[in-house]
Amino acid sequence: MSEEIKTIKVTIDNITIDVAPGTSILQAARMIGGDVTPPAMCYYSKLEGSGGKCRTCLVEVAAGSTADPRPMPKLVASCRTGVMDGMIVKNMTSEKVPEARAGVVEFLLLNHPLDCPICDQAGECHLQDLGYDHGKEGTRYQFARRTFKKEDIGPYIQLHMTRCILCYRCTYVADQITNKRAHGIIDRGDHAAISTYISKAIDNDFSGNMIDVCPVGALTDKTFRFKNRVWFTKPMDAHRDCQTPGCCGKATLWLRGDEVFRVTARKDEWGEVQSFDGKPGWICNTCRFETKQTSSWTIEGLTTISRHSVIGANKYQTLEMPKETVKKVMRGVEPKLLMDIHSVSGVNNPDIHLSEINGPAHSSDFKK
Amino acid sequence: MEKKLLLEKVHIEGIRHYDVYRREGGYRSVEKALKMQPNDIVEEVKKSGLRGRGGAGFPTGMKWSFLAKPDGVPRYLVCNADESEPGTFKDRYLMEFIPHILIEGMIVSSFALGSNTSYIYIRGEYDWVTDILENAIAEAKQNGWLGKNIQGSGYDLEMYVQRGAGAYICGEETALLESLEGKRGNPRIKPPFPAVKGLWGCPTVVNNVETLAAVVPIINEGGEAYAQIGVGKSTGTKLISACGNINKPGIYEIDMTITVEEFIYSDEYCGGIPNGKKLKACIPGGSSVPILPANLLLTTAKGEKRLMNYESLSDGGFATGSMMGSGGFIVLDEDQCIVRHTYSLARFYRHESCGQCSPCREGTGWMEKILLSIESGKGKMSDIDLLWDIQRKIEGNTICPLGDAAAWPVAASIRHFRDEFEWHVNNPEKCLTENFGLRHYADPVYVAGS
């Protein structure tokens, strides 16, 4: 007798999908992909216990399940709510969700310094994406923003707490993939802060992964700080035979010319570390901070990036236009494509392929 | 004078000690319960109609019947004695003066739920009460009411008191469990609920002090007798901690059939407003519940007299009603400034927000700052609408009810006292030295000096 794998049906924004029991609404939405997927600032599928905190992934549950079709009274955090058979979820099609989400974006930006022009995370910052996608123009906040002093936590990482949105991801990394957690959340409320215990240095082989999981520029790589803007660098998939136990050795090198400016873990379309053989591809500090010669790596080729538009040097390989009209599926709701940059701008159609240029592109590289 | 169930013997000298408490009929309910089937005790509590006294008013018997009972996994009963809501001090009184009633109620409840280890999580500031409880537990243990094989029944129970560290958020049941486990007191994301996965991942029931104490008269007199006290779904007696501008602040045990008017003005209870002042507003159930102006407090929108019970106080929803809450009855007279009062509450919630989820963490601080600027004469008219919008975006969008608790007082103040906010904006100088006073929502019945 073959064991039958039971699946359950969930409908998100009028698109029905079969998923395994125990899947969260957010994971189901990610399987559908595209605009149906709620944004997530604190949830990280590779970190156990993460999620539920930022409230950007709030969705409306219009029917709880086939057995109990009552709607849920409040918006729920899709990352931590499991799907039920016959559940009907409204994300983009909900009337309440966009407003609540815009509210959350406003709250998240309330004490955020918006120092993007000098922030190393700019260009690959989830808060920037979130602000553009779901936020409103301007702020109604008229008071001084909360500030903190910059703090060096360990030899490789700088903490700039002012930018932190308290997603707790880095504490989960420290808890789950390093063997000793030396930092955590101190204080509470809007004066809560990430800090090490009495400025204790974080000294651990895998501490660098905290930088990768940080959705904003609160944790930055000290070997890369102010060295370059991410959109001037060219991401290349590469691997090396790393001897550190637990390190997957597969990374993304961020090059400018032949110089490696930065090494990060490989990320998927949701900005999370990719999994290899079912295991998250965390990399060790040796790979990340100390192996910055191209000769130490076997380069596989350009990294394909679909989400963060300013990087990836025009390599939108995974971006596919929907085959059926999204508008019809969404019962009249327009998909949120702000502008097809390819059709209006020559910047993305240079005569020379950007990956072949060393350094920033100049006006002479483009069509007149 | 109505029948008292919890505070009947509180004035007997030495009732804090086991000998006197036992002589006055204490621990009878344990004797009775140990001869019953645990499920029958749960049924008895269901019949009594007892509702959680901590604030939400959820039926206790139903909560108990949700407790998961997997084999080989311990179950826990945790008493929530982290009473931190401004205006609420009933549990402290009960634990301080008649601690054995809580322990007695907890033994019965633990037996009913099959818990062999029970905890009292007490507010950190109640340090002297902790000593009283620990003494009482030691006395109970000496006399064979706790420990192994209680009174020869074969049932074992250990009871511990754990002090919190002074965080309001640890009164939220999942934050309480986190704190009890020795972690940072952040509320957990539900589901799973504590009845399935609570303390150390095991099924857990968390009940308020007063709820557990009320189990004693329920077992002694029977659930049906208990249900006959009170009215409708508000059965039994309720402790009200009255404070603010009243002649006789203190703890009152009421049977939930009296009117709010009687409670405030009769000499048996609060004894009226001091100095011949008029009633302006009241928070009937602890700082989190919506404030009501005098006219809506005394009569409902339908024109009926409002009663001191769950249904009547919430009659009209939040538009014209409030909530029974935890029974922290805060009375404001005509000299009180609603803006200042709201600011003071907002400051509390900002300070006590755990900072885990963004709407509460950022929104509470924002509301506090706006309220301070209005209160200090620097507000703009648009700030009032902004406040309304902020509270709306916090309410219902947070992990735990602290977000709602922070939003409701602000919402209710603007809903009922918007003109007072506008007066502050229009009179930036005057509002620093004068109060808005009563204006149109004056107490219609009681005129100063009459």
Tokens of B70: 């997997």
| Residue tagged 């998240």 (tokens) | A108
Query: B363 to chain A: which residues are within 8 Å by CB?
Result: 107
Query: A100 to chain B: which residues are within 8 Å by CB?
Result: 393, 397
Shortest CB distance from A188 goes to which of B354, B359, B363? Answer: B354
Please, where in chain B does CATH 1.20.1440.230 lie?
A: 338-434
Both A197 and A250 in one domain: the answer is: no
Q: How confident is the model at residue B3 (pLDDT cuts 50, 70, 90)?
A: confident
Fold of B18-228: Rossmann fold (3.40.50)
For residue B163, the cross-strand partners are B122
Both A325 and A294 in one domain: the answer is: yes
Residues from A in contact with B at Cβ < 8 Å: 51-56, 58, 73-75, 77, 80, 99-100, 103-104, 106-108, 110-111, 140-141, 143, 165-166, 168, 184-185, 187-192
Say what the pLDDT of residue A304 is: 73
| Residue tagged 């309304």 (tokens) | B388
pLDDT tens-digit readout, B162-219: 999 989 999 999 999 999 999 999 999 988 999 999 999 999 999 999 999 999 999 9
Please, where in chain B does CATH 3.40.50.11540 lie?
A: 18-228
CATH architecture of structural domain B338-434 = Up-down Bundle (1.20)
Q: Do A189 and B386 touch (CB under 8 A)?
A: no
Residue in chain B nearest A56 by alpha carbon: B358
Within-domain flag for A260: yes
Residue in chain A nearest B372 by alpha carbon: A143
Residue in chain A nearest B386 by alpha carbon: A140
Within-domain flag for A104: no
| CATH code of residue A188 | 3.30.70.20
Are B441 and B416 in contact by the 8 Å Cβ rule? The answer is yes
Within-domain flag for A300: yes
Tokens of A99: 């407003």
Distance between CA atoms of residues B450 and B438, nearest Å: 17
3-class DSSP assignment, residue A293: coil
Instruction: Name the residue among A76, A92, A93 with its Cα closest to residue A84.
Output: A76
pLDDT tens-digit readout, A90-138: 998 999 999 999 999 999 999 999 899 999 998 888 998 899 888 888 8
Both A208 and A252 in one domain: the answer is: no
Distance between CA atoms of residues B22 and B142, nearest Å: 13
| Residue tagged 């939400």 (tokens) | B56
Distance between CA atoms of residues B214 and B91, nearest Å: 12
Both A250 and A368 in one domain: the answer is: yes
- Domain of residue A179, residue span: 111-137+144-221
Cα distances from A241 to residues A249, A253, A261, A264, A297, in angstroms, run 6, 15, 20, 16, 8
> What is the residue-level pLDDT of chain A in tens, covering all 368 positions?
455 668 899 999 999 999 999 899 999 999 998 788 999 999 999 998 899 999 999 999 999 899 999 999 999 999 999 999 999 999 989 999 999 999 999 999 999 998 999 999 988 889 988 998 888 888 899 899 988 888 888 888 899 999 999 999 988 888 888 777 777 888 888 888 887 765 666 678 888 999 999 999 999 999 999 998 888 888 889 999 998 888 999 999 998 888 899 999 998 888 899 999 888 999 999 999 999 998 999 988 888 765 555 554 444 445 555 556 666 666 677 666 555 655 555 555 556 666 666 666 666 666 54
With b for 16 or more beta-carbon neighbours within 10 A and e for fewer, the B282-321 pattern comes to bbbbbbbbbbbbbbbbbbbeeeeebbbbbebbbbbeeebb
Within-domain flag for A49: yes
Distance between CA atoms of residues B368 and B394, nearest Å: 13
| CATH code of residue A74 | 3.10.20.740
Tokens of A152: 């060096």
Cα distances from B121 to residues A156, A225, B21, in angstroms, run 42, 47, 23
Q: Do B356 and A166 touch (CB under 8 A)?
A: yes
Distance between CA atoms of residues A44 and A46, nearest Å: 5
Say what the pLDDT of residue A260 is: 92
Closest CA–CA distance from residue B183 to any residue of chain A (Å): 11
Shortest CB distance from B364 goes to which of A77, A140, A189? Answer: A189
With b for 16 or more beta-carbon neighbours within 10 A and e for fewer, the A329-343 pattern comes to bbeeeeeeeeeeeee
Instruction: Name the residue among B337, B345, B351 with its Cα closest to residue B411.
Output: B345
Residues from B in contact with A at Cβ < 8 Å: 167, 169, 184, 189, 350-359, 361-366, 369, 386, 393, 396-399
Instruction: Please count the structural domains in chain A.
Output: 3
Cα distances from A346 to residues A305, A337, A341, A352, B315, in angstroms, run 20, 19, 9, 12, 64
Residue in chain A nearest B365 by alpha carbon: A190
Are B300 and B320 in contact by the 8 Å Cβ rule? The answer is yes
Amino acid at B131: D
Within-domain flag for A106: no
Query: A58 to chain B: which residues are within 8 Å by CB?
Result: 397
Closest CA–CA distance from residue A217 to any residue of chain B (Å): 17
Q: Do B366 and A143 touch (CB under 8 A)?
A: yes
Both A355 and A305 in one domain: the answer is: yes
Neighbours of B211 (CB within 10 A): 23
Distance between CA atoms of residues B327 and B314, nearest Å: 13
Both A242 and A347 in one domain: the answer is: yes
Say what the pLDDT of residue B16 is: 93
Query: B184 to chain A: which residues are within 8 Å by CB?
Result: 184-185
Q: Do B355 and A166 touch (CB under 8 A)?
A: yes
pTM for this one?
0.88
Q: Do A110 and B366 touch (CB under 8 A)?
A: yes
Q: Do A189 and B365 touch (CB under 8 A)?
A: yes
ipTM of the complex: 0.89
Are A190 and A180 in contact by the 8 Å Cβ rule? The answer is no
Say what the pLDDT of residue A329 is: 64
Within-domain flag for A102: no
Within-domain flag for A103: no
DSSP class of B205: E
Return the CATH number of B237-329, one of 3.40.30.10, 3.10.20.600, 3.90.1720.10, 3.90.1560.10: 3.10.20.600
Query: A143 to chain B: which residues are within 8 Å by CB?
Result: 366, 369
Q: Do B358 and A192 touch (CB under 8 A)?
A: no
Within-domain flag for A274: yes
Q: Do A166 and B396 touch (CB under 8 A)?
A: no
Q: Do B366 and A189 touch (CB under 8 A)?
A: no
Both A238 and A368 in one domain: the answer is: yes
Both A241 and A368 in one domain: the answer is: yes
Say what the pLDDT of residue B177 is: 96
Query: A103 to chain B: which residues are within 8 Å by CB?
Result: 359, 393, 397
